[in-house]
Structure 1
Amino acid sequence: MQLLLRNTLHGLFCASAVLCAVDARAQADMQTSSQRWLEAAVVQAPPVQGQGLRMEVSVGALDPRLQLAPCSKVEPYMPTGTRLWGKSRLGLRCLAGATRWNVFMPVTVKAMGRAWVAKTNVMAGTVLTANDAMEAEVDWAEDASPVVANAEQWIGQVAARSWVAGQTVRQAMVKPAQVFQAGTQIRVLAQGVGFQVLSDGQAITSGVVGQPAKVRLDSGRVMSGVVQDARTIVVEM
């Protein structure tokens, strides 16, 4: 696909054998061609979290101070370590000219889709309820932290930092809720192939569902396991 897009862009850029300095006309031609290349590329993007997003591409301008030598073959490429998501850049390099050059054009790729946004301001540490956010169309690519797309990913969780009304709910904004503190009496379910043993103990560390915690059994033995719920740690033997 990349080769096909590249050849298409070559044709768009190189209908003339001469590509001059970055004057207004050359700038407009390069922006138009880059826009088409990017639009073709993002159409091929796979679904994100199982959702097909509506991609919107906008192309910036090259530095007007650049003076580019004539080139009959310009190749577009994505620089190493970049992706077509949010604010990015598209590389353009001359492959057939008296002077080889390589420049970067700023681009922005929005990924529009349904997600959750804060209804009101929420303080850090708040246990979140269904009233704290509502569904809306947002730009998934606006921030590096992934969007929280499903309600079960945030309802019952804790706000990891303060929220502002209208802010898109992202994974960095929530964390699992603590279900017990150190010193709490809990159950320890020790299990292995073909057996389960249930005993009592005292939590040495606080407990967060799905996270590791330590417990001291009545015998004095210390064990590590995974918090199952507000009363139980599971220890795999």
Structure 2
Amino acid sequence: MAAHRALAGVALAAAVAGGSGAAFAQAAADPAADLGPLTQRWLDDAMSRNQPAGLPLRMEVSVGSLDSRLRLAPCARVEPYLPAGARLWGRTRLGLRCVEGQTAWNVYLPVTVKAFGPAWVLINPVAPGAILTANDATQAEVDWAEESAAVMANPELWVGQVAARQLVAGQTLRQTMVRAPHLFRAGAQVKVVAQGPGYAVTSAGQAMSAGAAGQIVRIRMDNGRVVSGTVNEIGTVVVAL
């Protein structure tokens, strides 16, 4: 589902890069008064033409306003762009610069991008370390862009996972809220498989930290050597040689 979020952001970025500048190709005695409505129309048009087929999100964009005390020189054409590090997701900003005018200027308009789609919302509080079950959440339409963490729209991503912190009813389940359950604790004896080209050697060692599937952990072997490996789904630590 993170891919859906990224795809939405890419689509909007493409819209900004390839959208029509015609709506901005007009002079104005007070450009600041027109930037908000013009930007809104430009973004709406760009989104309607660049929305990827099959994306399960309903996008909405709203444009804020500049400081009313700001006075901009007349401009025949204003060019929109995304500032470095910005993205069209959640609360962000869009740059606007005069490219045809006697006086060059550059301003930023606040923009809010909402992406409504199906997600899972908690109906029960969940204590830290508790395992989530299918009965803990119900499906609802939420704004995926309200927070930066990716929404887990597929129940397989969170059912059976452990709450990483205290969770409350009404929260949308996102990736940062859960972690994989620990398969062993620090100090436990674990199976270690050292793999190389065409061979595998099995031994045992002591875990130096708790381990969950997919994590990289350090293991102290019987000879005192410390190795690092990846925990697989059954709790074996795989060391690549």
Q: Which deviates the most, 32-41 or 213-222?
A: 213-222
Q: Secondary structure at the match of 1:138?
A: strand
From the superposition, tell whether residues 190 and 75 of structure 1 become closer, same or farther in structure 2 (CA, over 3 Å): closer
Alpha-carbon shift at residue 114 of structure 1 (Å): 1.3
The alignment status of 1:42 with 2:47, answered yes or no, reads yes
Report the Cα distance in structure 2 between the residues aligned to 1:97 and 1:168, rounded to whole angstroms. 47
Amino acid paired to 1:38: L
Alpha-carbon shift at residue 113 of structure 1 (Å): 1.2
Equivalent residue for 1:167? Answer: 171
Report the Cα distance in structure 1 between the residues aligned to 2:195 and 2:102, rounded to whole angstroms. 73
Report the Cα distance in structure 1 between the residues aligned to 2:226 and 2:71, rounded to whole angstroms. 70
The alignment status of 1:8 with 2:22, answered yes or no, reads yes
From the superposition, tell whether residues 8 and 183 of structure 1 become closer, same or farther in structure 2 (CA, over 3 Å): same
From the superposition, tell whether residues 219 and 96 of structure 1 become closer, same or farther in structure 2 (CA, over 3 Å): closer
Equivalent residue for 1:67? Answer: 71
RMSD of aligned alpha carbons: 2.6
Report the Cα distance in structure 1 between the residues aligned to 2:113 and 2:17, rounded to whole angstroms. 21
Alpha-carbon shift at residue 218 of structure 1 (Å): 4.9
Amino acid paired to 2:30: A
TM, length-normalised to structure 2: 0.81
Equivalent residue for 1:117? Answer: 121
Report the Cα distance in structure 2 between the residues aligned to 1:4 and 1:178, rounded to whole angstroms. 47
Equivalent residue for 1:100? Answer: 104
Residues 33-79 of structure 1: per-residue CA shift (max 9 Å, x gap): 211211233342558xx844211011112211112222222222222
From the superposition, tell whether residues 219 and 111 of structure 1 become closer, same or farther in structure 2 (CA, over 3 Å): same
The alignment status of 1:20 with 2:33, answered yes or no, reads no
Report the Cα distance in structure 1 between the residues aligned to 2:156 and 2:191, rounded to whole angstroms. 26
Report the Cα distance in structure 2 between the residues aligned to 1:2 and 1:51, rounded to whole angstroms. 18
From the superposition, tell whether residues 104 and 182 of structure 1 become closer, same or farther in structure 2 (CA, over 3 Å): closer
From the superposition, tell whether residues 219 and 55 of structure 1 become closer, same or farther in structure 2 (CA, over 3 Å): same
TM, length-normalised to structure 1: 0.82
Report the Cα distance in structure 2 between the residues aligned to 1:223 and 1:143, rounded to whole angstroms. 37
Alpha-carbon shift at residue 86 of structure 1 (Å): 0.9
From the superposition, tell whether residues 197 and 97 of structure 1 become closer, same or farther in structure 2 (CA, over 3 Å): closer
Q: Secondary structure at the match of 1:71?
A: coil
Gapped regions of structure 2 (runs ≥ 5): 1-14
Equivalent residue for 2:196? Answer: 192
Residues 107-148 of structure 1: per-residue CA shift (max 9 Å, x gap): 111111112221222222222222222222111111111222
Alpha-carbon shift at residue 31 of structure 1 (Å): 2.5
- How many pairs are equivalent? 226
From the superposition, tell whether residues 78 and 203 of structure 1 become closer, same or farther in structure 2 (CA, over 3 Å): closer
Q: Which deviates the most, 81-90 or 186-195?
A: 186-195
Q: Which deviates the most, 218-227 or 106-115?
A: 218-227
The alignment status of 1:146 with 2:150, answered yes or no, reads yes
Q: Which has the larger radius of gyration?
A: 1
From the superposition, tell whether residues 162 and 7 of structure 1 become closer, same or farther in structure 2 (CA, over 3 Å): same
Candidates 92, 99, 109, aligned match of 1:88: 92
Amino acid paired to 2:201: V
Q: Secondary structure at the match of 2:119?
A: strand
Alpha-carbon shift at residue 190 of structure 1 (Å): 2.7
The alignment status of 1:234 with 2:238, answered yes or no, reads yes
Report the Cα distance in structure 2 between the residues aligned to 1:186 and 1:205, rounded to whole angstroms. 11
Q: Indicate if the aligned counterparts of 2:214 and 2:230 stay in contact, CA closer than 8 A.
A: yes
